[in-house]
Amino acid sequence: MTVLAPQPVQPENATIRVLIVEDHPIVSQGYLHLLGTRPNFEVLGIAEGAAEALRIATETPPDLALVDLSLSQGSGLELIRALRQLRDSMKVLAVSAHDDRLFAERVLRAGASGFVNKQCATQDLLRAIDRVLEGGVHLNEEMSQRMLTSISGVPKPNDESPVQKLSNRELEAFEMIGQGLTTREIAHRMTVSPKTVERYRENIKNKLKLESAIELVRTSTQWVLENR
């Protein structure tokens, strides 16, 4: 289900240049096969991380970027912002295994035109791609209703996860903690100092009401396992 009326942005039968940003080869090959069913789609490349994606997009700007939010090299949300800054007309569709309720609004704020859960059917992904290329915004029905409820001022349902309280950078650190990375490894990936990561850790513990570092690791690990 989608929101916002589409505005055609591509001439009919024009070649659509696509950049795939995905660090799991099986998934990226699946996207490649799916996009191959569209004769006017040209895949510029498959990037496994943010830096590689920006390099490809700088050399040949894509019309559409499919961006996985959980990258082993760089932040998916920060990459969306960077891609839109690189070329404002570029359409970005975020793809993730994470809960729509946690990420859908974040990706729209970052500049994406939609969010698709990796568990969706292939035809749903193609419909989402068509929607954003037409100039519309794609969200599933539940998230569309939540966004409309938020805009209308009606109180939100009281079923939000405590993790939603985290900022984008805190959420990124939280996920890496759950993946078993050390503070120095997280700092390297996020290109910040270890001291900054420690501050993120303290903020996360306070926001999630966790008493210790052990509880933080246990909670983040469980969250990562549930959102694979």
User: Do residue 24 and residue 94 come from a single domain?
Assistant: yes
pTM: 0.76
Strand locations in the chain, DSSP E?
2-3, 16-21, 41-47, 64-68, 91-96, 114-117, 137-138
CATH number at residue 141: 3.40.50.2300
Is the distance from CB of 67 to CB of 17 less than 8 angstroms? no
Q: What is the mean pLDDT of residues 115-141?
A: 88
- Amino acid at position 61, single letter: P
In the chain, the number of structural domains is 2
At 55-112, the pLDDT tens digits run: 999 999 999 999 998 887 778 888 999 999 998 899 999 998 877 777 888 888 899 9
Please indicate, yes or no, whether residues 43 and 117 belong to a single structural domain of this protein.
yes
In a domain, 157, yes or no: no
Residues 31 and 131 in one domain: yes
DSSP 12-72: TT--EEEEEE-S-HHHHHHHHHHHTTSTTEEEEEEESSHHHHHHHHHHS--SEEEEES--S
pLDDT computed for residue 195 by the predictor: 94
Range of the domain at 207: 162-226
Q: What percent of the chain has pLDDT over 70?
A: 85
In a domain, 117, yes or no: yes
What is the structure's pLDDT at 16? 94
Neighbour tally for 225: CB within 10 Å: 9
Residue 124 lies in a domain: yes
Distance CA 205, CA 180 (A): 17
pLDDT above 70: residue 130: yes
**pLDDT per residue over 142-193, tens digit each?**
666 666 655 555 555 555 678 888 988 998 899 889 888 899 999 988 888 9
Strand partners, 17: 42
Task: Kindly report, residue by residue over 186-226, the tens digit of the pLDDT.
Answer: 998 888 899 999 999 999 999 999 988 889 998 888 888 77
